[in-house]
Structure 1
Amino acid sequence: MQMALSQNDASFGDGEWFKFRMSYSGFLKAGNATLSVKETKLNNKDVFHVVGKGWTTGMIKWFFKVKDRYESYFDIETLLPYKFIRNIDEGGYTKDIEIDFDHNENKAYVNDKKNNVKTVYATTPNIQDMVSTYYYLRNSINPSDLKKGDEIRTDMFFDKENYGFKLKYLGEETISTDFGNIECLKFRPYVMAGRVFKEEESLTLWVSKDKNKLPLRIRADLAVGSLRADLEAFKGLKHSFKILVDN
């Protein structure tokens, strides 16, 4: 059953903004990424509009240019997505896709704008998109209920197929960040192996062990090398942010 979101207990809200520093194989500056949240309306419905952008910088840009944009419009209370946009250019590999979700009929209307093809797919109830999944899980995961090895599952529609998304809890870990030492929850999102990722268990995620569940670090083992994203700036947090102070 899809949960209704209490705005007081929500881990995020209008005006939240993150900026990430991307590095390749641990040392080479690779790019930046941002995530922003705004309240707006879509077809007279109150929604959160999340925009995620990623782009390469420095030397990496010379031989592998990336410019990605992801957008999701999802319901403020249920967090169910209504529209998802994926517009990417990764070294010449491009996609320009818009997806509209009909949760009453359990259908996804996919508009492949690059190839001028429109298709309709059946979806499972309470389907999430690639972006809304993260915000849905931020609100639904209760750290006090987690045990090491637990797996959290949800259904996600990605591009043109239903995908059973799985997140494994790896335990707690304190990591050093730009802001100081932070107590974190460590997860293993299972991803699709293939063109980008080396294998299903290629991704590791660290989020702050507080009400915000800030995404502080993401590490990905790629087909060639590894990519790491570290949170370097933020604003608009809904709750206080706890930093450990050395005595």
Structure 2
Amino acid sequence: MKNIFSLFIILFFSWGHAQKLDNIQSGEVLNYRIHYGFLNAGTATLTTLKTTYQGKPHFYVKGYGRTSGAVRAFFKVEDNYESFINYNTGLPSFYVRNVQEGSYTQHLETAFNHDNNTLILSDKEKNTSKVVKSVKDVQDMLSAFYYLRSLDSTDLKVGNVKKLKVWIDDELFPFQLKVVGTENVNTKFGTINCLKIVPQVISGRVFKDKEGVTLWVSNDKNLIPIAVKAELAVGSLKASLESYKNVKYPLRF
């Protein structure tokens, strides 16, 4: 169960070149229900607000995940993520990961400099800071989620494989995703047509195998993750859209 909500966010990465986030609406809220095997494991929420950061238009995004029910009784998780994402480029400017997972805690802040491909990583618990070499168009875990949703139909053709590097905790991870087809997915709101995406992830550390994750994204301009399934090294993780509001385009169930 460790890092289960971190994994939930990681599953929603993206690809392509930097681009404007003009299909995301300020005030959007997405709520997800997470299951671990047969257990109701917890919830995750993503909220978006248009703001300014360092004098430039940004989205301020908050991600919050927590365990619930029987799972919380033996493993308490309170995961908080924040990201300031440049509205015109889709790239993160500032990222916060502040989590408590059982006895494990971590509070990191990352300031990105995309002009010289570096970042400043600050550990708030240890009161340390260092400059780290980065790569072009690096994403954090939250910005990647919204970056995916800024793509158009030409980027999302069946068979397309794209690569991305995501800053997770305190290091870079390479990912690639493949659009394998379309599929109708049953939800509490009705049936919705989705793009079926298979991210290729690092096996052995957390996931059961290299392609143990499947993501279903609404096949419309919103590109909202509707459901996700991950076969973990121990058990399986499932998540589904529980509620939503203030999405820019109507979801067609």
Q: What is the TM-score normalised by the length of structure 2?
A: 0.88
Kindly indicate whether the alpha-carbon contact (under 8 Å) linking 1:16 and 1:36 is maintained by their aligned counterparts in 2.
yes
Q: Counterpart amino acid of 1:31?
A: G
How do residues 94-243 of structure 1 correspond to structure 2 at under 5 angstroms?
94-142=105-153, 146-148=157-159, 150-243=160-253
Structure 2 equivalent of residue 36 of structure 1? 47
Matched, 1:5 2:16: no
Shift in Å at residue 144 of structure 1? 7.5
SS in 2 for 1:15: coil
Gap runs ≥5 in structure 2 = 1-15
Superposed displacement of residue 169, structure 1: 1.3
Spell out, residue by residue over 1:11-53, the C-alpha distance to the aligned partner (whole angstroms, 9 max, x if none): x22111011111111x321111100100112122211011111
Contact 1:143 1:209 in 2 (8 A): no
Given that residues 18 and 91 in structure 2 are in contact (C-alpha distance below 8 angstroms), is that contact kept between their aligned partners in structure 1?
A: no
Cα RMSD after superposing both structures: 1.8
Instruction: Give the C-alpha shift of residue 3 in structure 1.
Output: 3.9
User: 8 Å contact 2:93–2:113 — kept in the other structure?
Assistant: yes
Confirm or deny that 1:60 pairs with 2:92.
no
Q: Which runs of 5+ in 1 are unaligned?
A: none
Which has the larger displacement, 199-208 or 227-236?
199-208
Superposition deviation, residue 145 in structure 1: 5.0
Structure 1 residue 112: Cα displacement: 1.4
Range with bigger deviation, 136-145 or 155-164: 136-145
* Equivalent in the alignment of 1:15: 27
Identity of aligned residues (%): 40
Map of 1:77 onto structure 2:
88
Q: In the TM superposition, what whole-angstrom CA distance separates every residue of 1:151-177 from its partner, at most 9, and x where no partner exists?
A: 111222222222222112121111110
Distance 1:231 1:60 in 2: 20
Q: Mean Cα displacement is larger for which, 52-61 or 113-122? A: 113-122
Displacement over 4 Å in runs of 4+ = none
Structure 1 CA distance for aligned equivalents of residues 109 and 244 of structure 2: 28
> How many pairs are equivalent?
238
Contact 2:21-2:146 within 8 A present in 1 as well: no
Amino acid at match of 2:20: L
Give, in whole Å, the separation in 2 of the partners of 1:50 and 1:199: 31
Shift of residue 121, structure 1, vs aligned partner: 1.0
Structure 2 CA distance for aligned equivalents of residues 15 and 114 of structure 1:
31
Q: Given that residues 21 and 147 in structure 2 are in contact (C-alpha distance below 8 angstroms), is that contact kept between their aligned partners in structure 1?
A: no
| Match of residue 9 from structure 2 | none
Q: 1:193: Cα distance to partner? A: 3.6
Deviation at residue 179 of structure 1 after TM alignment:
0.6
SS in structure 2 at match of 1:51: strand
